[in-house]
Amino acid sequence: MAFLELTVLNNEPTPIVGIDLGTTNSLVARYRDGRPEILKPPGHSGTVPSAVYFAEGEEPRVGTEARLHAIADPGNAIFSFKRFMGRGLKEVASDLSSVPFPAEENQHGVVAFNVRGTRYTPQELSARVLRQVAAVAGEAIGSHAPLTAVITVPAYFDDAQRAATRDAARLAGIEVARIINEPTAASLAYGLDLKAANEGKEGGHTIAVYDFGGGTFDVSILLIEDGVFRVLATNGDTHLGGDDLDRVLVDLALSELTEKENLLTAEDAADPTVRQALRLASEKCKMELTNNPVGELHFTFPDLEINWRRDVTREEFETLIKDVLMRTLACCRSALADADLVASDIDEVVLVGGTTRIPSVRKLVESFFGQKPHVELNPDEVVALGAAIQAHILAGGTRDILLMDVTPLSLGMETMGGATSKVILRNSPIPCQHTEGFTTYADNQSGIEFNIVQGERELAKDCRSLGQFKLTGIPPMPAGMPKVAVRFSLDANGMLTVTAKEETTGNLAEIVVEPMNSLTDEELEGMLMESFENAKSDFEASRFAGLITELGTMLQASERGLRTGSDKLDAETIDELEEAMQAARDARVLKDVGRLKEVEAIRDAFELATLPLAAVLMDSVAKSALSGKSLNDI
Ligand code: ADP
Ligand code: MG
């Protein structure tokens, strides 16, 4: 009945919207009349600054108002909390030193901010921003029905950070249709998926997404192949953004106000309220410089009777920010190297983030990649627009490209001896699921403990543990007899469910991984780098093991051959062969992969020494046909 009522009440069902939940700003878009649009109520920019202000004894203020209050009362205005989503206190120690509000760990081991005696997690704060975003959407659409949304996250967000984002949406009463990567959304907004499909380039279409926001810089290298988006590499700096450019102007103002003009004492200059006012004045000047050759740096502080202004030319500004901008290129270089590409391999370059409005940033990116980047859409709106396109596709809208994201790290579990068994491989398109068979290693073992790990390394201790669970109630059986099916199921939002089922009893155990602690960006990067570095040693280890097995086979063949053919060989040849065989036996017990080359030489010498024996074992016809072949080849 409720269903019928709903149908009657809503002639036009609430659409699925796309939400860019940003570090600095959040906004919402929907798809209508064949294109996505930012939802802006009349007289409103649509942008909700991702900030919350806690006034004494009042309801918290969210968005623009919170940002303004941050000037007068910095300790009670919280912003940049996206950096702390799904993280533990230890992991974000360096981030915390850069924010003016006190943080602690709550009972679940996640970061919480203590404001006026109450603790707020990043999820709760994000939920408040999302509620404001939903209100903006409702205002623009003219309906305040609960929203369903596609929400974007940075490509490097791990499972915990994505899970925290979902929690935030749930707290805000928003149903998450899907979580997608910000660079993927930006590419969708430019229709690069359709362009790639039309051009059908061999090996796919590569895209570099350069995202320079308020407090973070990210570069992602994507590949679109057969309609699937893959993240080839991500790089960036979580402490590099528009804020740094503001700071350059704050420093300029401070040095003149304190040293040159003596308007500010060192003590006043350190006051957080003064700092915030300077920061806002600097940001305003920075934005003016984007559109004008000269910007005005105007700092008023009535309490100190300061009303100071100074012109900044674009040339002067560009010189001041050069070092900051160059740091983004270092990240681009690393990302390209990780993707095994060079700048000229990139088919499309997309600019994202408010800071890419700055002309010198655009010039720099253009000269680095040797092509004009996409700037047709507003860079601070492009992610929300793309999310709206994805929402439209999910709602059954026409667009014939299948969109998928991929998992950035392999998922698997620890097996005997501390090795890992990868169940879902890195870069698998999601959603996906895979089942592996496992068994016991001791007689009458009644339970199996599972350790779910994430990462590329061969040993579980080198990977990241996502959680443990235990399957119990296995009936007494000899080791190796019980059959346990372990299913890994990764949903479209990157949430992992692992189910273990013992076949005879049907006993089940399950874990949904929503880890409290998660990786820092550096760690995620480090894990991938490590796996690349280890690829060589892993390769050598398996090569070494292969050689040892090969020596065993050669020894068996030689021993067999000598029993029948030794009377046809002279004593010296037999001595040489036996010497080589002894060297092979000695080498077989070596366990040191570092001696790979030495073992290779022993194998080669052994092979040579077997040639005369191989020769006498062949008949005269085969002899000429097979000369030069070793004993093993016969
Ligand atoms: P985020 O993705 O971090 O939420 P945005 O993409 O909204 O952030 O970018 C915010 C940053 O963009 C801020 O540092 C802001 O000062 C900067 N910004 C916005 N507009 C301009 C402009 N016209 N010129 C220069 N910087 C700008
Ligand atoms: Mg952004």
Over the stretch 106-165, which tens digit does the pLDDT of each residue have? 777 788 988 888 889 999 999 999 999 999 999 999 988 899 999 999 998 988 899 999
Instruction: Flag the least confident range among 314-318, 353-357, 548-552, 605-609.
Output: 548-552
Catalytic residue numbers read: 20, 82, 182, 211
Q: Name the band, by pLDDT with cuts 50, 70 and 90, for residue 195.
A: confident
Distance, C-alpha 597 to centroid of its chain: 38
- Residue 514 pLDDT exceeds 60: no
111-115: strand order across its sheet? 103-105, 111-115, 118-120
Instruction: State whether the beta carbon of 51 lies less than 6 angstroms from ligand 1.
Output: no
Q: Name the band, by pLDDT with cuts 50, 70 and 90, for residue 404.
A: very low
**Exposure letters 510-541 (e unless 16+ CB within 10 A, then b):** ebebbbbbbbbbeebbebbebbeebeeeeeee
Instruction: State whether the beta carbon of 49 lies less than 6 angstroms from ligand 1.
Output: no
The whole-number pLDDT of residue 5 equals 30
The whole-number pLDDT of residue 518 equals 56
Query: Which residue's C-alpha comes closest to atom 10 of ligand 1?
Result: 214
- Residue 455 pLDDT exceeds 70: yes
- Residue 239 pLDDT exceeds 60: yes
Q: Quick one: tokens of 234?
A: 């991500």
The whole-number pLDDT of residue 82 equals 94
Distance, C-alpha 123 to centroid of its chain: 19
Taking phi over 0 as left and psi of -120 to 50 as alpha, with beta for the rest, 418 belongs to: left
Q: Which domains does the chain have, with CATH numbers?
A: 3-179 (3.30.420.40), 194-376 (3.30.420.40), 411-512 (2.60.34.10), 535-626 (1.20.1270.10)
At 561-613, the pLDDT tens digits run 888 888 888 999 999 999 999 999 998 887 777 888 899 899 999 988 988 88
Distances from the Cα of 85 to the Cαs of 40, 64, 79, 418, 632, in angstroms? 27, 21, 12, 30, 60
- Residue 8 pLDDT exceeds 80: no
- Containing 254, the helix (H) or strand (E) segment is helix 242-255
The answer to whether residues 19 and 28 touch, using CB atoms and an 8 Å cutoff, is yes
The whole-number pLDDT of residue 294 equals 95
At 208-232, the pLDDT tens digits run 999 999 989 999 999 998 888 999 9
How far, in Å, is the centroid of ligand 2 from the Cα of 312?
A: 27
Round to whole Å and give the CA distance between 612 and 216: 69
- Residue 634 pLDDT exceeds 60: no
Q: Taking CA 192 as the corner, what is the angle to CA 191 and CA 195, rounded to the nearest 5 degrees?
A: 95
Q: Which of 380, 382, 383 to mutate to test the pocket of ligand 1 (most atoms within 8 A of CB)?
A: 380
The whole-number pLDDT of residue 456 equals 78
Instruction: Determine the straight-line distance between the first and last CA of the chain, rounded to whole angstroms.
Output: 80
Percent of the chain with pLDDT over 70: 87
12 vs 221 pLDDT, higher one: 221
Instruction: State whether the beta carbon of 286 lies less than 6 angstroms from ligand 1.
Output: yes
How far, in Å, is the centroid of ligand 2 from the Cα of 147?
A: 21
Instruction: State whether the beta carbon of 283 lies less than 6 angstroms from ligand 1.
Output: yes
Q: Name the band, by pLDDT with cuts 50, 70 and 90, for residue 9.
A: very low
Q: Count Cβ atoms below 10 Å from residue 456 Cβ, excluding itself.
A: 22
3-state helix/strand/coil string of 561-578:
HHHHHHHHCCHHHHHHHH
The whole-number pLDDT of residue 517 equals 42
Mean pLDDT, residues 404-433 taken together: 75
How far, in Å, is the centroid of ligand 2 from the Cα of 368?
A: 22
Q: What are the φ/ψ torsions at residue 352 (nearest 5 degrees)?
A: -130, 150
The answer to whether residues 496 and 140 touch, using CB atoms and an 8 Å cutoff, is no
The answer to whether residues 54 and 63 touch, using CB atoms and an 8 Å cutoff, is no
- The ligand that comes nearest to the alpha carbon of residue 153 is 2
Instruction: State whether the beta carbon of 383 lies less than 6 angstroms from ligand 1.
Output: no
Our CA dihedral for 356, 359, 365, 369, rounded to 10 degrees, sits at: 130
Kindly state the DSSP code that residue 147 receives in the 8-state scheme: P
| Mean per-residue pLDDT over the chain, rounded | 85
Atom of ligand 1 nearest to the CA of 289: 24
Q: Name the band, by pLDDT with cuts 50, 70 and 90, for residue 614.
A: confident
- The ligand that comes nearest to the alpha carbon of residue 215 is 1
Mean pLDDT, residues 358-376 taken together: 95
Query: Which long-range contacts does 314-319 make (Cβ < 8 Å, 24+ apart)?
Result: 314/289, 314/359, 314/360, 317/248, 317/249, 317/286, 317/289, 318/360
Query: Which residue's C-alpha comes closest to atom 19 of ligand 1?
Result: 354
- Residue 414 pLDDT exceeds 60: yes
- Residue 546 pLDDT exceeds 80: no
Instruction: State whether the beta carbon of 214 lies less than 6 angstroms from ligand 1.
Output: yes
Look-up: residue for tokens 């929907």?
30
Q: How many residues does the chain have?
A: 634
The whole-number pLDDT of residue 406 equals 61
Q: What is the pTM of this model?
A: 0.65
The whole-number pLDDT of residue 350 equals 97
Any residues with CB less than 8 A from the CB of 174 and at least 6 apart, and which? 19, 130, 134, 146, 147, 148, 149, 151
How far, in Å, is the centroid of ligand 1 from the Cα of 213?
A: 5
The whole-number pLDDT of residue 415 equals 78
The whole-number pLDDT of residue 557 equals 81
Kindly state the DSSP code that residue 258 receives in the 8-state scheme: I
To the nearest 5 percent, what fractions of the chain are helix, strand and coil? 45, 25, 30
The whole-number pLDDT of residue 71 equals 66
The answer to whether residues 192 and 211 touch, using CB atoms and an 8 Å cutoff, is no
The whole-number pLDDT of residue 14 equals 64
